[in-house]
Chain A
Amino acid sequence: MNARRFRRQKFAGPILVVAALLTIGSAFSIASALPSAQKSEVSAQSTLVDEGKQIFLKGCASCHGLNSEGGAVAPSLIGVGAAAVDFQVGTGRMPLANMSQQAMRKAPLYNPTQVAALGAYVSSLAPGPATVDPASLAWERDGNVAQGGELFRTNCAMCHNFAAQGGALSNGKYAPTLMGVEPKHIYEALITGPQSMPKFSDKTITPAEKLSIIKWIKSANAEPAIGGASLGRVGPVTEGLLVWTLGLGLLIGVAVWLASKAR
């Protein structure tokens, strides 16, 4: 009798727990399966946010803080928006390879789905600029190269060089070259102002003007180098160096040969 009672008591607890879990679980799944597609989209979004949070905790939180509040070495990510995430992570700048003055463009560590998840998580913290859909950037159709060139020379060329080849800033920082940058990343950089770069608001440079800038950069990118080596397209510095070393060296050689006596 004692043994029977003991047996009953022994299994009653776990069985009850399992039964209760099953009931609640199936009830929840039925309840959540019932409503329309809108609700499932919301839950997909929240899964994306959760997924992003997981990636964030593993890959970003050590510098940016467990709640994206920032730290001694990294800024707060609250309110930077998905566009900033898409630019920084999508171009491989984040996560940093090392703690140097500047985050460099490199092969991205995360795939586009993971980048989108991270973006969803960061934009769930506070609203910010959304990721730019490449399909909505009709720069080839709506951009104007001449206008883009004018805007570029006034607003961009002082840092990124007149041929968009990049240039030096202070203390080892630099403005990177814009050759081969995806249009959506150019657009996102303009609206989010990554690293040293300031933001360029939609009212001072309208979205249409931003498309013109992209079109100008792309046309500069497509400019063929007729003479082969373009020497970085930075003008007299590299060209002068080449002429003063190779060219002058050749002339000195010829002069020595001219003045030497034949035997």
Chain B
Amino acid sequence: MSTEINKFERFEDPGLPAHVLRKTDTDPIAANRAERQVAALFLLSALGTIGTIASYIFIDSKKFIYLPILGDTNAQQLALGTGLAASLFFIGIAAVHWAKTLMPDEEVIAERHEFRSSDEDRADFVSTVKDRAGAAGLGRRSLIKRSMGLSLGLVGLSPLLLLRDLGPLPKNQLATTSWAAGVRLVTDPGNRPIKPSDLEVGAVAQVLPHLPVGTERTLENIGKDAVLLIRLRPEDFNLNAQRLSWTYDGIIAFSKICSHMGCAVALYEQQTKHLLCPCHQSTFDVTRAAKVIFGPSARPLPQLALQLDAEGYLIAKQGFTEPVGPSFWERNSA
């Protein structure tokens, strides 16, 4: 019995299932009904088109109507959209319904021919190529042969050249910003310098570095330079001596570029003194030098050291001491 099971059994190809006639194939009344249905669907499409044209001409483009779920809706736009959708949708529905109910649905088998050409054709092709090549004198005219080789060989070089556009490498651009010792903090937008007295406790300001006159502020620079200035009560800070010396009378500044993926971290919750990144919910504690207290970020936000200049405006004591923003290969993650 077991040998019977182990033996390979050949299955007979069952072939196609028997063709089943549709109701429309056998019943003329059903066929006529299907025909009327298809015609009605085409007519609906035609009505849709007419409706589209009519609503374009006759409906006031500024008229709004109230609809239960949609609320106040522009009547003309609604009619145009509905009409156009109907005109296209019903053509499709009619065609499919027509094909499914009335068009022939006999199963047809078309055998695939063999891929290999006949031996005769192949021999013919080879002899033609040899014959023509000899007639063109490729063997004799070596100048053409060599120059052609040169040109075809060189063509391959241009795509290689375009690979250059993948670079150049950013060098140290990822590690540098426009902040440097003595650069004034200015409001964004507005470009006004800021005095400590301009900020009350609990206030924030979005700031950028003051650029020398004539220097354009590029988006690339804003993407690295953006800083958030926050004023707290000095006693709220829980900082080490160095970081505390980077603040000024309760005013502390952090890079706004998230150390996780580079989103702008500016959701400052004044009561909890937390900074929240809107992209992945990294949360930084401002009182502890932007220590990460929640979320995927691996590092605190870089802090900008502050001091006052002779005129009493806030300036940077030095540039950022670490690269701002997300990690990159060459970054020394300290």
Contact = CB atoms under 8 A, between A and B. Distances in A.
Interface stretch (A25-33, A119-127, A135-143, A222-230): A222-230
13 contacts: A154-B206, A169-B269, A196-B269, A196-B272, A197-B270, A201-B205, A203-B192, A203-B199, A224-B74, A226-B77, A227-B78, A257-B96, A262-B105
A262 B271 contact: no
B276 A169 contact: yes
A230 B100 CA distance: 39
Nearest to B62: A224
Given A169-B267, A170-B276, A204-B187, A227 B74 contact: yes
Interface residues of B, number: 48
Interface in A206-255: 206, 209, 224-230
Contacts of A147: 189
Given A228-B73, A229-B70, A198 B268 contact: yes
Contacts of B199: 201, 203-204
A159 interface: yes
Interface in B198-253: 198-200, 202-206, 230
Interface string B1-35: 00000000000000000000011100000000000
A229 B281 CA distance: 29
Contact of B74 (A170, A209, A226): A226
Given A196-B269, A226-B77, A170 B281 contact: yes
A151 B202 CA distance: 19
Interface in B59-118: 64, 67, 69-74, 77-78, 96, 100-101, 105
Contact of A227 (B77, B190, B206): B77
Contact of B283 (A170, A227, A257, A262): A170
A47 to B, nearest CB: 31
A170 B273 CA distance: 12
Interface size class of A (residues with CB under 8 A): 35 or more
Interface in B167-215: 187-190, 192, 194-195, 197-200, 202-206
Nearest to B102: A262
B278 A170 contact: no
B72 A198 contact: no
B171 to A, nearest CB: 29
A200 B198 CA distance: 10
B152 to A, nearest CB: 48
Given A228-B71, A229-B70, A198 B230 contact: yes
Interface of B: 22-24, 64, 67, 69-74, 77-78, 96, 100-101, 105, 187-190, 192, 194-195, 197-200, 202-206, 230, 264, 266-272, 274, 276, 278, 281, 283, 294
Nearest to A175: B267
A175 B74 CA distance: 30
Contacts of B189: 147, 150-151, 154
Given A170-B269, A196-B272, A203-B195, A227 B73 contact: yes
Given A193-B203, A203-B194, 9 more contacts: A147-B189, A158-B266, A198-B204, A198-B268, A199-B200, A200-B204, A201-B198, A201-B203, A227-B78
Nearest to B268: A198
A173 B187 CA distance: 28
Q: Label chain A's interface by main secondary structure.
A: loop
Given A170-B294, A173-B269, A226-B74, A199 B204 contact: yes
B269 A204 contact: no
A107 interface: no
Nearest to B97: A262
Contacts of B200: 199, 201
A173 B281 CA distance: 13
Given A226-B74, A229-B70, A229-B71, A196 B198 contact: no
Interface in A166-193: 167, 169-170, 173, 175, 193
B274 to A, nearest CB: 6
Contacts of A197: 270
B270 A196 contact: yes
Nearest to B277: A158
Contacts of B187: 204-205
Contact of A154 (B69, B188, B192, B281): B188
Given A158-B266, A201-B198, A204-B199, A196 B271 contact: yes
A259 to B, nearest CB: 10
A158 B203 contact: no
A155 interface: yes
A231 to B, nearest CB: 10
Nearest to A151: B189
Given A158-B267, A227-B73, A198 B203 contact: yes
A4 interface: no
Contacts of B188: 154
Contacts of B190: 204-206, 209
A158 B267 CA distance: 6
Contacts of B203: 193, 198-201, 204
Nearest to A158: B266
